[in-house]
């Protein structure tokens, strides 16, 4: 199932809003156009009826005037006919004399309008001439930006030839209350759409920024042991509820981790105490047996051998206790830029005699390290860890074998790391002890204490690194994985 982000959904909502606004504007324009068409049609009907009204009144006047119609009577006749049609003006036109009568009884000016409109004179003359020529009514429609001019000419049949009646009206299409309402509606629609777009854009920008800050805070490197950082409020109520939930979950997780660590420490202390008791009990038992035998025998020579044995067991216990102190003591690091190639060479030099005695060759590989950039580590402590690993490798390598010390700079998940490798051509690690290889008192040698690799692990952890046995290698390989610089 496809999951869509909130940003995509809000963008889809914005596009739907835009589409609905466009459709609404289209419908408003259609309704307005339809209303203006109706206005034009109504005005055209009024102009036609007014022209027929003049024809009818002229015919009635002609029937009453047997000797001819006086020009003075045409004006009142036209005025009486047009008085029924507001906004319509008209008159009588002679093909020879031009305008012979004019009236605009519904004119809304300061006084009665008696002058023929000069701007439309040519149009009026043309319509009347055409109506006289074809002997039936002729209409003219002349649109402009704000109105449509409507003129109709109608031939008059009576005692005088060459006369036509004409009427003229105007339909206001882009003016007046309807046009104002149309513009107001479009303006309100534009403001709401633009306002909605601006609001959604502002919301998306702010929301995306807050989400990005949360992602950066969650993805930022954190100190060891901290699973979730403490997140600051975003100012967005819904996101802040999530932030509060994450902070509470982080607190519970830290508490649970602390309880687990405490339980692990108690368990480790119990195992360590049992192992220490076992390791010390054996030499004490041996010393007691030697001392009792010497006392019973009364032989001075046997007493001397017994004392020497006791001293050997005391040295064993002392060595064990020193290793325990090194394992458990707090390690204060003195980091400094360290020449790794020289460090490896010094470690190999310290064990040359043992390697020669066992016919084992020690090889060093540190050529790939950059010369101008040195890692910041505690050199003496790392040297001690390498000593333990190297001694362990020499003791497990058969004559004619090889132990290899190598160093390389690698990048893991964007972080620069130092890898120190100690590998040997020995028989490998007993599978029975692989799972607890770095635990105290776990060893594969009868004469070993099992503390060497545990000390190596503690030194690596103090550097915020790790030590591990690499699986799948042709040689037994241990790797010290350390940060190139402290974070």
Q: Where are the domains of the chain?
A: 6-179, 237-327, 332-483
Q: What angle do CA 49, 52, 55 make, to 5 degrees?
A: 155
> What is d(CA 262, CA 285) in angstroms, rounded to the nearest whole number?
34
Distances (CA, A) of 1 to 4, 5, 47: 10, 13, 68
Q: What is the pLDDT of residue 70?
A: 79
Q: Do 331 and 458 touch, CB atoms closer than 8 A? A: yes
Q: How far out from the chain centre does Cα 455 lie?
A: 46
3-class secondary-structure state, position 79:
helix
Domain spanning 332-483, CATH class? alpha beta
Q: Do 52 and 143 touch, CB atoms closer than 8 A? A: no
Burial of 307: CB neighbours in 10 Å, binned 0-12, 13-18, 19+: middle
Question: Could you tell me if residue 175 is left (phi over 0), alpha (psi between -120 and 50 degrees) or otherwise beta?
Answer: beta
Q: What angle do CA 383, 438, 278 make, to 5 degrees?
A: 110
| Tokens linked to 441 | 């008192």
Distances (CA, A) of 457 to 28, 327, 483: 79, 9, 15
Residue 167's nearest CA partner among 87, 108, 97, 98 is 87
Q: Do 272 and 257 touch, CB atoms closer than 8 A? A: no
Residue 130's nearest CA partner among 155, 111, 97, 103 is 155
Q: What is the pLDDT of residue 1?
A: 46
Q: Do 74 and 94 touch, CB atoms closer than 8 A? A: no
Which residue is associated with the tokens 């594969």?
A: 444
Burial of 436: CB neighbours in 10 Å, binned 0-12, 13-18, 19+: middle
| Same CATH fold assignment for domains 237-327 and 332-483 | no
| pLDDT averages per 10-residue partition of the chain, 487 residues | 63 76 72 70 89 90 77 86 90 90 86 83 91 91 85 89 91 68 74 78 77 76 63 77 80 78 65 62 69 72 74 68 60 82 89 87 89 87 86 88 92 89 85 70 57 80 87 87 86
Show Cβ contacts of residue 151 under 8 Å, excluding neighbours closer than 6 positions: 47, 120, 123, 124, 127, 139, 140, 142, 166, 167, 168
Helices (H), 154-236: 177-219
3-class secondary-structure state, position 36:
helix
**What single DSSP character describes residue 397?**
S
**What backbone phi and psi angles, to 5 degrees, belong to 447?**
-95, 5
Helices (H), 298-398: 300-328, 340-350, 352-357, 379-396
| Torsion sign, CA atoms 325, 331, 334, 336 | positive
CATH topology of domain 6-179: Beta-Lactamase (3.30.450)
CATH topology of domain 237-327: Helix Hairpins (1.10.287)
Q: What is the pLDDT of residue 372?
A: 82
Which residue is associated with the tokens 């809000």?
A: 10
């Amino acid at each position: 199932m496809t999951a869509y982000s909130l940003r995509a959904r809000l963008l889809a909502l914005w596009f739907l809003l835009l589409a609905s606004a466009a459709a609404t504007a289209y419908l408003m324009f259609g309704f307005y156009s339809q209303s203006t068409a109706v206005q034009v049609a109504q005005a055209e009907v009024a102009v036609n009826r007014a022209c027929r009204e003049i024809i009818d009144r002229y015919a009635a006047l002609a029937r009453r005037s047997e000797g001819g119609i006086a020009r003075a009577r045409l004006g009142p006749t036209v005025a009486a006919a047009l008085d029924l049609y507001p906004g319509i003006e008209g008159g009588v036109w002679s093909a020879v004399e031009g305008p012979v009568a004019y009236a605009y009884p519904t004119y809304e000016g300061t006084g009665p309008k008696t002058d023929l409109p000069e701007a439309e004179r040519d149009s009026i003359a043309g319509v009347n001439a055409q109506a006289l020529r074809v002997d039936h009514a002729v209409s003219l429609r002349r649109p402009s930006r704000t109105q449509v001019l409507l003129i109709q000419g109608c031939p008059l049949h009576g005692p005088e030839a060459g006369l036509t009646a004409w009427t003229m009206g105007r339909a206001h299409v882009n003016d007046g209350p309807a046009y104002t309402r149309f513009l107001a509606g479009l303006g309100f629609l534009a403001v709401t759409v633009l306002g909605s777009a601006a609001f959604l854009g502002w919301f998306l920008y702010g929301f995306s920024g807050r989400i990005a800050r949360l992602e950066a805070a969650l993805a930022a490197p954190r100190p060891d042991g901290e699973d979730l950082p403490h997140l600051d409020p975003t100012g967005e109520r819904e996101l802040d509820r999530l932030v509060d939930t994450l902070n509470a979950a982080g607190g519970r997780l830290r508490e649970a981790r602390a309880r687990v660590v405490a339980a692990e420490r108690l368990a480790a202390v119990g195992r360590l105490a049992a192992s220490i008791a076992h390791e010390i009990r054996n030499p004490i038992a041996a010393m007691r047996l030697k001392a009792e035998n010497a006392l019973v025998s009364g032989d001075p020579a046997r007493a001397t051998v017994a004392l020497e044995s006791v001293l050997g067991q005391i040295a064993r216990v002392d060595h064990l206790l020193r290793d325990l102190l090194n394992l458990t003591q707090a390690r204060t690091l003195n980091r400094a830029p360290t020449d790794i190639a020289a460090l490896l060479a010094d470690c190999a030099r310290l064990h040359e005699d043992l390697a020669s005695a066992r016919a084992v060759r020690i090889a060093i590989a540190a050529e790939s390290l950059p010369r101008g950039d040195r890692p910041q580590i505690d050199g003496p402590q790392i040297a001690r860890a390498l000593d333990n690993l190297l001694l362990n490798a020499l003791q497990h390598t058969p004559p004619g074998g090889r132990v290899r010390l190598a160093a390389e700079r690698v990048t893991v998940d964007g972080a620069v790391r130092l890898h120190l490798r100690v590998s040997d051509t020995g028989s490998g690690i007993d599978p029975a002890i692989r799972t607890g290889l770095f635990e105290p008192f776990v060893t594969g040698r009868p004469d070993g204490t099992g503390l060497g690799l545990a000390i190596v692990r503690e030194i690596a952890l103090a550097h915020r690194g790790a030590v591990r046995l690499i699986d799948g290698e042709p040689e037994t390989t241990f790797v010290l994985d350390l940060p190139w610089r402290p974070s």
